[in-house]
Structure 1
Amino acid sequence: MVVAYAPGGGTDITARLIAPYIAKYLGTNASIVVLNRPGAGGGIGFAEIANAPADGYTIGFINTPNVLTIPIERKANYHWTGFDLLGNVIDDPGNFSVHNDTPVKNLAELVAYAKANPGKVSYGTTGIGSDDHLAAMMFERAAGVKLTHVPFKGAAEVHQGVVGKQIYMASMNIGEALQYEKGGSPMRNLGQMSGTRTTLAPTLPTFKEQGYDIVMASLRGIAAPKGLPPAIREQLVNAVQKAAADPEFQQKAAGYFAPLRYLPPAQYEAELKGAENGFRQLWKDMPWSESATK
């Protein structure tokens, strides 16, 4: 099972939680090894999944928006239609987090600080074109501020950047931020990018509540190379569905603040298709690559 990000992030944790359950429902003494292939905003890992033999022995997580945005912004040797979709598992809204030592406690205070200190608010993300990056760009435009982007290979590195005060702010998913908070991380969350407050963080205001109509989340689903034999594809789809519905897995996922949202392949495909159309329009309006913004 390929994870296109570094160990310790939300995708990596989910992969290691669900892998034994997928193996359980595959039966016949199946076992799954999780391999981290970070880099290029997820592009290295996505390409490894897409270009592996379509024999059912390689599966992996694909993350939106990265799996959709990378082929829009640059030439990539994969496209989401080049995967056999097995089912979506996670839907994790975005969020901004700062170190507890900073005086900023909400988005209004962040905007005030950023306007008083142009370019000094550096923020970490999991890469160019990630949900974290696009959300921060949307916020810059909506708030009329200039922030400094610092891409990392995974959420764990972004977290360490804030904790070590190498960067001012983390743009990361709320589920990931809550995991670090549970572990005693000295971070303060400023807002969640969901339409309404999630059950994960019922006391944390949304961006919309704070005056910024920004909704951004990361779907994290499981896919395989295109062209699986039908019987093998059906076996994998069923195993992912049963694993996602397993009460024991769901209980463990809740302990890591993993926001579960299972989607069967057809519904997952429809969401990806709609999201890709939206990101193509966003690219026309607000190109997000480093070269396009210089």
Structure 2
Amino acid sequence: MKTYSALLRRLLPALLLSAAAPFAAHAAYPEQPVKMVVAYGAGGGTDIIARVMAPYIARYLGNNASIVVHNRAGAGGGIGFAEVANAAPDGYTIGFINTPNVLTIPIERKSNFHWQGFDLLGNVIDDPGNFSVHADSPIRNLKELVAYAKANPGAVTYGTTGIGSDDHLAALMFERAAGVKLTHVPFKGAAEVHNAIAGKQIMMAAMNIGEALQYAKGGTPLRHLGQMSTARTTLAPNVPTFKEQGYDIVMASLRGIAAPRGLPPPVREQLVNAIQKAAADPEFQAKAANHFAPLRYLPPQRYEAELKEAEGGFRQLWQAMPWADK
């Protein structure tokens, strides 16, 4: 018995250390930089908020964390979304997923991701759609836009962040409601749409109101024709809604953060808590407001419920108005 007891005393510290090893590994997270994927080009609304928010998420992750933003533009966001969905579920790859693109791409074509294949970490932005023209344009509101489009079928060129984006779907709804024909010019991101409207290469930019306000603040002379919110937002109280102008169109882009499904629970909890704290940080909120980013934090369960409901709506829209070849 004495020999057994002596052996146990010698082995016990090693056994306890071995049992604690997995917990120590999780406690050390993150031990290397975390990659944050943005599925659109640099300078767009998602890219801007990602770069503004990343240091705050890192602050609340602790352990001297760092977050590096990587732009993976293309395929209406599909390239970046797929990179996040198919990465190792270890907490070192996260990314923004944007509606409706993350919902509509799997509806309109075969894809190697689906929103249910992500670990949702929290929504950050809810940005209503909007139509903007160059300030030199004679068009001042939706009524004048419709009159011009009817007199010049197909002459109104409009830029979006891609087929199936909120901008594109809103424009298709507007075409149907107004009985007009517009010409779609898809781009890889809002920054490219901005460059095209600034250079007068397109007649109209279909982009979110927060992005449009940011570009206008940066010096691009834009006139905003209408925002696609249920009521005028505090960001743009002087811009009428589409509904006010006779077109019952409501469209917005949720921009939330997700990771590959299957994160270790302690790592997932750490990320969720860090994002929630970052979103509530007054310093971050002030910087976001300076960039006209309409914040709307949603915890994972509420975020999931909104995505599920929105997906059902877009599937119905696809049946009534398939948009892939538009």
Number of equivalent positions: 291
Give the aligned partner of residue 224 of structure 1: 259
Give the aligned partner of residue 137 of structure 1: 172
Q: Does 1:53 align with 2:88?
A: yes
Picking from 304, 310, 317, the partner of 1:269 is 304
Inter-partner Cα distance in structure 1 for 2:135 and 2:150: 20
3-state secondary structure, aligned to 2:147:
helix
Give the aligned partner of residue 274 of structure 2: 239
Give the aligned partner of residue 110 of structure 1: 145
3-state secondary structure, aligned to 2:93:
coil
Map residues 247-262 of structure 1 onto 2, 5 A cutoff. Answer: 247-262=282-297
Inter-partner Cα distance in structure 1 for 2:126 and 2:177: 24
3-state secondary structure, aligned to 1:34:
strand
Picking from 210, 214, 217, the partner of 1:179 is 214
- Between the two structures, name the one with larger relative contact order (CA 8 Å, sep ≥ 6): 1
- What amino acid does structure 2 have at the position aligned with 1:88? N
Inter-partner Cα distance in structure 1 for 2:324 and 2:264: 37
Residue by residue over 1:124-145, the C-alpha shift from the partner in whole angstroms, topping out at 9 and shown as x without a partner, is: 0000000000000000000000
Inter-partner Cα distance in structure 2 for 1:186 and 1:250: 26
Residue by residue over 1:1-31, the C-alpha shift from the partner in whole angstroms, topping out at 9 and shown as x without a partner, is: 0000000000000000000000000000000
Inter-partner Cα distance in structure 2 for 1:205 and 1:102: 18
- What amino acid does structure 2 have at the position aligned with 1:40? A
Give the aligned partner of residue 189 of structure 2: 154
3-state secondary structure, aligned to 1:278:
helix
* Structure 2, unpaired ranges of 5+: 1-35
- What amino acid does structure 2 have at the position aligned with 1:229? P
Identical-pair percentage:
82
Give the aligned partner of residue 62 of structure 2: 27
Off by >6 Å, runs of 4+ in structure 1: none
Inter-partner Cα distance in structure 2 for 1:102 and 1:17: 33
Inter-partner Cα distance in structure 1 for 2:158 and 2:282: 37
Inter-partner Cα distance in structure 1 for 2:76 and 2:189: 8
Q: Does 1:86 align with 2:114?
A: no
- What amino acid does structure 2 have at the position aligned with 1:49? V
Picking from 69, 73, 81, the partner of 1:38 is 73
Inter-partner Cα distance in structure 1 for 2:111 and 2:144: 39
* Structure 1, unpaired ranges of 5+: none
- What amino acid does structure 2 have at the position aligned with 1:161? A
- What amino acid does structure 1 have at the position aligned with 2:149? A
Inter-partner Cα distance in structure 2 for 1:288 and 1:245: 37
Inter-partner Cα distance in structure 2 for 1:112 and 1:148: 15
1:186 Cα shift?
1.2
1:184 Cα shift?
1.4
1:165 Cα shift?
1.0
Residue by residue over 1:204-234, the C-alpha shift from the partner in whole angstroms, topping out at 9 and shown as x without a partner, is: 1000000000000000000000000000000
Give the aligned partner of residue 200 of structure 2: 165
Residue by residue over 1:98-145, the C-alpha shift from the partner in whole angstroms, topping out at 9 and shown as x without a partner, is: 011110000000000000110000000000000000000000000000
Picking from 218, 225, 228, the partner of 1:190 is 225
Inter-partner Cα distance in structure 1 for 2:264 and 2:83: 19
1:34 Cα shift?
0.1
Q: Does 1:98 align with 2:127?
A: no
1:185 Cα shift?
0.7
CA RMSD after TM alignment: 0.4
Map residues 1-16 of structure 1 onto 2, 5 A cutoff. Answer: 1-16=36-51
Q: Does 1:204 align with 2:239?
A: yes
Inter-partner Cα distance in structure 2 for 1:178 and 1:240: 25
1:187 Cα shift?
1.1
Inter-partner Cα distance in structure 2 for 1:260 and 1:198: 12
Inter-partner Cα distance in structure 2 for 1:6 and 1:133: 18
